[in-house]
């Protein structure tokens, strides 16, 4: 078990080291990140096995590693430009200026919490941006992906001096007052910035804890991200996108399609098309769901939680149009389509984070708008339509952190777009230059001209 003294020693060492990291050049930061790239690539098989152990995804799946490689490429190619002072035009009201610019300086010590659904990607993506911005980082891996947490710890130790990046896997710390959770101990330190990927519930805790030391924070949270289907779109296209959107990682993705709105008269055609796509992708000839192709629930608690939502919905009169089988031994629920679900059930009220799709119908777009932020403001939003006027009305009458039109979560993959949530789904933006800026202090400099 960790000792409080050990955490405090590392924190003090990191604080003293902030100035060193602040003065590193783009080339020096990239050099560290290239060592990180090499270490991750060396351990690809180990990472695959660990994710398999934690989430049941195939051990040869390299999706998360590819994401991280993309992040590293972007930083390698663009960091020098991001770090350069940003020139600003003078306005008429201010005195003559020698120069005006924004200088990006590191925030200092960044406390990073990873999550378990994409334990490699959601840990290393923010870490890379924190290092690129010249910060030092204290990090805690998610206790729910322990095998991956161990590999992460080894990678970080192999690449970074602990004054630059230190990672903790132990969930508990011995203190003179008894055993405390590592999360709580870390959050009591006078950190400069906190970066959380996790639930709105923990997001609230972070905001309160940050207030103790006036730390700044970035919250990458979740919520109920809807998909809206218009009658002008080919339903096959929607169904294919929903495979990644609803079933990949057993529905445990922050941008998962939580529920879908379809025109009432197209409901049955939509269900038929979606079910056919699901069967093609995930079922064998005997009609068995091949969950091994994409993973299972992370743990019993999450399996029980989603099963509870399903049971309640059925007990309250929802119709199972497809699926519905549960498998407690393997922590799996079959891809399921629910119709006529009462709006006050938990499956409609809470983020599902599982492969169940409630289908809501509309005859009037106002029904979508009226519902739009009643369940919190979502992280993602997708619209499927060929009608530009429909798309504009959807954009103008709803809100979310980001939007993909005619695809699933592509706005997340595009690193030139800022990624993040709004209110209940998050605070702050990252990816590409946006992440560099999020993890920097944008210092305004006005140099008055003197004769
Ligand atoms: P969670 O909020 O329970 O845990 C996330 C992290 O917070 C863990 O690493 C945990 O150790 C840490 N943490 C810090 N202080 C804590 C405290 N006091 N108590 C408990 N944990 C504390 O998240 P979860 O439910 O495991 O993850 C799922 C959520 O994450 C979903 O809501 C999902 O949408 C969201 N998510 C968001 C993104 C994104 O990029 N926006 C990505 C993945 C997941």
| Rounded-to-integer distance, Cα 435 and Cα 298, Å | 28
**What mean pLDDT do residues 48-70 have?**
97
Q: Is 116 in the pocket of ligand 1 (CB under 6 A)?
A: yes
pLDDT value at position 154? Answer: 98
| ∠ Cα 242 246 252 (to 5°) | 150
According to the model, what pLDDT value does residue 372 have?
85
If you average pLDDT over residues 93-100, what whole number do you get? 95
Indicate if the pLDDT at residue 136 is higher than 90: yes
* Cα torsion angle, 442, 443, 444, 449, sign: negative
CA distance 303 to 328: 8
Helices and strands per DSSP (H, E), number in the chain: 16, 21
Residue 55 has phi, psi (to 5 degrees) of -130, -5
Atom of ligand 1 nearest to the CA of 205: 18
Q: 4-25 pLDDT, tens per residue?
A: 999 999 999 999 999 999 999 9
Cβ pair 335, 246 in contact under 8 A: yes
H or E element: which one contains 42?
helix 26-42
209 pocket-lining for ligand 1 (C-beta < 6 Å): no
Q: What is the DSSP letter of 60?
A: T
Does 382 sit in the ligand 1 pocket, CB within 6 Å? Answer: no
Give the pLDDT of residue 381: 97
Interval 429-448: pLDDT, tens: 999 999 999 999 999 999 99
C-alpha–C-alpha distance, residues 328 and 320, integer Å: 19
Is a pLDDT exceeding 90 seen at residue 373? no
Tracing tokens 């990252």 back to the chain, one arrives at 430
Q: What is the pLDDT of residues 189-203, one digit of tens each?
A: 999 999 999 999 999
pLDDT for res 265: 98
User: For the residues 137-141, what does the mean pLDDT come to?
Assistant: 98
**220 CA to centre of ligand 1 in angstroms:** 9
ipTM score for this prediction: 0.94
Residue 1 predicted with pLDDT over 90: no
User: First CA to last CA across the chain, in angstroms?
Assistant: 64
Please tell me the predicted confidence (pLDDT) of residue 153: 97
CA-CA distance, 254 to 380, in Å (whole number)?
Answer: 8
The pLDDT value given to residue 157: 98
Q: Where are the alpha helices (DSSP H) in 283-387?
A: 300-315, 346-349, 365-371
Task: Please provide residue 297's backbone torsions phi and psi, each rounded to the nearest 5 degrees.
Answer: -65, 150
Q: Decide if pLDDT at 241 tops 90.
A: yes
Count, residues in the chain: 451
10 Cβ closer than 6 Å to some ligand 1 atom: no
User: What CA–CA distance (Å, rounded) separates 341 from 360?
Assistant: 8
* 90/317 Cα distance (integer angstroms): 64
3-state SS, one letter per residue, for 326-339: EECCCCEECCEEEE
Whether residue 228 is predicted with pLDDT greater than 90 in this model: the reply is yes
Ligand 1 centroid distance, CA of 115 (Å): 5
Could you give the percent of the chain with pLDDT greater than 90? 99
- Say if ligand 1 is within 6 A of residue 302 CB: no
Write the residue with the smallest CA distance to atom 21 of ligand 1.
202
Q: What is the pLDDT of residues 275-295, one digit of tens each?
A: 999 999 999 999 999 999 999
| Residues recognised as catalytic | 220
- Summarize the confidence of residues 316-327 as an average pLDDT: 98
Which among 181, 126, 100 has a CA at the least distance from the CA of 446? Answer: 100
Ligand 1 midpoint to CA 170 (Å): 16
Please give the share of the chain, as a percent, with pLDDT higher than 70: 100
254 lines ligand 1 (CB under 6 A): yes
Cβ within 8 Å of residue 6, ≥6 positions away: none
The pLDDT, as a whole number, for residue 224 is 96
- What is the per-residue DSSP string for 373-407? TBTB--S--EEE-S-HHHHHHHHHH---S--EESS
Is there a contact between 428 and 440 (Cβ–Cβ < 8 Å)?
A: no
Collapse the DSSP code of 87 into the 3-class scheme (helix H, G, I; strand E, B; otherwise coil) and give the result: strand
Return the axis-axis angle of helices 26-42 and 121-132, rounded to nearest 10°. Answer: 160
Rounded distance from Cα 445 to ligand 1 centre (Å): 37
């Amino acid at each position: 078990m960790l000792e409080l003294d050990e955490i405090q020693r590392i924190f003090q060492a990191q604080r003293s080291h902030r100035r060193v990291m602040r003065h590193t050049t783009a080339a020096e930061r990239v050099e560290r990140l290239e060592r990180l790239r090499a270490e991750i690539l060396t351990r690809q098989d180990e990472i695959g096995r660990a994710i398999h152990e934690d989430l049941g995804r195939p051990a040869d799946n390299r999706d998360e590693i590819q994401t991280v490689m993309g992040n590293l490429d972007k930083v390698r190619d663009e960091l020098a430009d991001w770090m350069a002072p940003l020139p600003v035009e003078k306005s008429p009201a201010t005195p003559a200026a020698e120069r005006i610019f924004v200088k990006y300086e590191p925030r200092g010590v960044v406390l990073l919490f990873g999550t378990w659904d994409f334990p490699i990607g959601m840990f290393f993506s923010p870490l890379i941006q924190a290092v690129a911005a010249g910060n030092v980082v204290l990090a805690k891996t998610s206790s729910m992906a322990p095998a991956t947490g161990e590999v992460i710890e080894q990678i970080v130790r192999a690449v970074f001096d602990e004054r630059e990046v230190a990672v903790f896997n132990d969930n508990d710390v011995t203190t003179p007052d008894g055993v405390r959770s590592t999360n709580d101990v870390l959050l009591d330190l006078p950190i400069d910035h906190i970066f959380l990927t996790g639930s709105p519930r923990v997001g609230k805790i972070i905001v309160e804890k940050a207030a103790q030391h006036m730390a700044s924070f970035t919250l990458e949270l979740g919520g109920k991200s809807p998909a809206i289907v218009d009658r002008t779109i080919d339903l096959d296209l929607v169904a294919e996108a929903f495979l990644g959107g609803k079933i990949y990682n057993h529905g445990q993705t922050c941008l998962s399609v939580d529920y879908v709105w379809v025109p009432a008269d197209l409901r049955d055609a939509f269900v038929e098309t979606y079910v056919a796509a699901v069967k093609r992708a995930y079922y064998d000839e005997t009609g068995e769901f091949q969950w091994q192709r994409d993973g299972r629930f992370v743990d019993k608690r999450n399996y029980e939680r989603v099963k509870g939502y399903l049971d309640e919905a059925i007990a309250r009169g929802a119709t199972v149009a497809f699926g519905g089988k549960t498998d407690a031994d393997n922590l799996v629920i079959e891809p399921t389509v629910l119709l006529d679900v009462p709006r006050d059930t938990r499956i409609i009220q809470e983020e599902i984070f599982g492969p169940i799709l409630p289908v809501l119908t509309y005859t009037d777009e106002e029904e979508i708008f009226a519902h739009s932020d009643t369940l919190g403001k979502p992280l993602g939003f997708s619209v499927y339509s060929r009608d530009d006027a429909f798309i504009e009305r959807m954009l103008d009458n709803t809100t979310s952190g980001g939007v993909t039109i005619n695809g699933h979560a592509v706005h997340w993959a595009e690193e030139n777009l800022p990624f993040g949530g709004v209110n209940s789904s998050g605070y702050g933006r990252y990816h590409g230059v946006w992440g560099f800026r999020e993890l920097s202090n944008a210092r305004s400099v006005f140099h008055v001209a003197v004769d």
